[in-house]
Every structure is written in structure tokens, then in C-alpha cells.
A and B are shown apart, each in its own frame.
Chain A
Amino acid sequence: MKRREFIQSMFAVSAVAVASAPSIVMAEEAKKAPAKKGPNDMSYDEAVKTITDGKGAKDSDKITLKAPEIAENGAVVPIKVTVDYPMTEKEYVKEIHILNTANGNARCADVMLTPANEVGYFATRVKLSKTQDVVALVGLSDGTFIKASASIKVTIGGCG
């Protein structure tokens, strides 16, 4: 009987060892990988590519982007965009995208406007992780894209 018990215990120990080994490996891998990763992360260049369909955007002075130069709290940064462009049935501001350059997810908001808005205007508040640029990417009804950017100094980051 003693021998049988001994063999059984040996099997039990080895089974536990096999079961626990992968979890140790997994934990080590998790330590190596970057811990912070959002569900829909997208870099700034990728975001511009997907929005403009690879065409890119030109800098324009038609857009006024109002943002603070120094944001003490990165969790709440007010952004105001006004586009100096007619809003008629034929030509109007179709979309306004608010993007950032250094957050995990570069996209903040995609706004689709119609001529009923009368003025190409949008305002919101965004989170910024560190000192970076905020970009307003504006799509016009003829299919072209224009953009304007403002750099914002962030004292305390507001992401995570």
C-alpha cells in the first residue's frame, strides 16, 4: 500500500506542476508586454489615412481652432472649432474630426454635419495624456480635406 500511495502522490504533484507552468509563463509575458493598451488604439497617421482614404489633408487658415495653450488638467481640455465656409445645399462642411497626436487612441470625435447646421461649428472637451498637438480635420462636400492644429502643454496627464 505504501508504494501505491507514493506513486499516486507522485502523479498528483506532476499534474499540478504541468498545470501551473503555463500560468507562470503567461505572467512573465504579461510583464514584458506594455500594460496599458486601450481597446481601439489607433495612431495619428493611421487615423488620418482611414478618414481621408489615403488622400491626406492640406493646412488651411479657414479653420479657427480654439484651445488653451497650457492645460493644467489633461482630463478636461476644451476644444472649439469654427470653419469659415458656406453652408448651402451644394457646398457645405460635411464632417469635423478632432484628433490628437500622442494619446493611445488618436481619434476623439467624428462629427457629421448637414446644411441645417448653418455654421460649421463644434465644441467639446477632450482628455490629453501629455503635451501634444490637437488637430481639427475638416471634410468638405467636394471631397477635399483641410486641417488646422494647435499645440497644448499639459501639466498633468488625464488618461489612466
Chain B
Amino acid sequence: MAEKRKSMIKIKPKKFKVGDTVKVDFIVIHPMDTGLKKDKKTGKIKPAHYIDNITFSFDGKPFTTMKIWETVSINPYFSVNYKVTGKGKITVDYTDNQGEKNSKSKKVKPKG
């Protein structure tokens, strides 16, 4: 079931120093089905399929965890703040209610 999903981490602003507070945006392409909608082709109700757990971590240390329900929009977007402490890697791990596990990471390169 390990389907590879498209996802993206953005750090805003692009240029930052150690000690700056940056925004970490995470977007993933996911249907987020509520379990109420009908499939237009087959006429059957689509089963619920949504992301339920997300963990943001820096070099293996989690700094934000989330629990998400189907009330979040299609192709969900999440944004949190983070204080840059040095060079490293931000990793976002996410699982959904059908057992898919994925992760995405991005290097953090502060200047100065």
C-alpha cells in the first residue's frame, strides 16, 4: 500500500539566518474523502480516505505533531512556525487511515 504521493515542503522566507523564525509549509496531494460522496462513474459511495497523523521533525527530533480528520480540505496544506537552530533537515512523516505511510524531507541551510 506504500503509494508514493506528491508532497512539498516550503520554507519562508527563502533566505534566513540562525535564530530566525521561519514558516514551514507542507502541502500533499491527497483526496481526503469523507466517506459521504458518491463516485460519479460507479455510483457507489467512496470509503473514507484521509490523512490522520502528521509529525514535523528536525534532525529526528519532533517539534510538532498533528491529528487530522476528514474535515480538512482536499490536497491539505499545513503551516507552522519554527526557530532555526542550525544546519539540518526538516522531515514530515504522515500516515492515513488506510495505512499508507510516507515522508518528505528538506535541508535547512541558514546563511550567516
Q: Which residues of A contact B (CB under 8 A)?
A: 36, 38-40, 75-77, 100, 103-105, 107-114, 116-119, 121-127, 158-160
Query: How many A-B contacts if CB must be within 8 Å?
Result: 101
Q: Are B21 and A119 in contact (CB under 8 A)?
A: yes
Q: Are B66 and A112 in contact (CB under 8 A)?
A: yes
Alpha-carbon distance A114/B83, docked complex (angstroms): 11
Alpha-carbon distance A160/B74, docked complex (angstroms): 12
Please report the total number of B residues contacting A with Cβ < 8 Å.
Answer: 31
Which of B35, B62, B74, B81 gathers most chain A CB within 10 Å? B81
Q: Are B69 and A109 in contact (CB under 8 A)?
A: yes
Enumerate chain B residues within 8 angstroms of A108, measured Cβ to Cβ: 68-69, 71-72
Which of A77, A104, A116, A126 gathers most chain B CB within 10 Å? A116
Alpha-carbon distance A107/B23, docked complex (angstroms): 24
Alpha-carbon distance A154/B62, docked complex (angstroms): 36
Q: Would you list 28 pairs from A and B whose C-beta atoms are within 8 A, ordered by A residue?
A: A75-B74, A104-B36, A105-B70, A108-B72, A109-B66, A109-B72, A110-B68, A112-B65, A113-B64, A114-B64, A116-B61, A116-B82, A116-B83, A117-B82, A117-B83, A118-B82, A118-B83, A119-B81, A121-B23, A122-B80, A123-B77, A124-B76, A127-B72, A127-B73, A159-B34, A159-B36, A159-B71, A160-B36
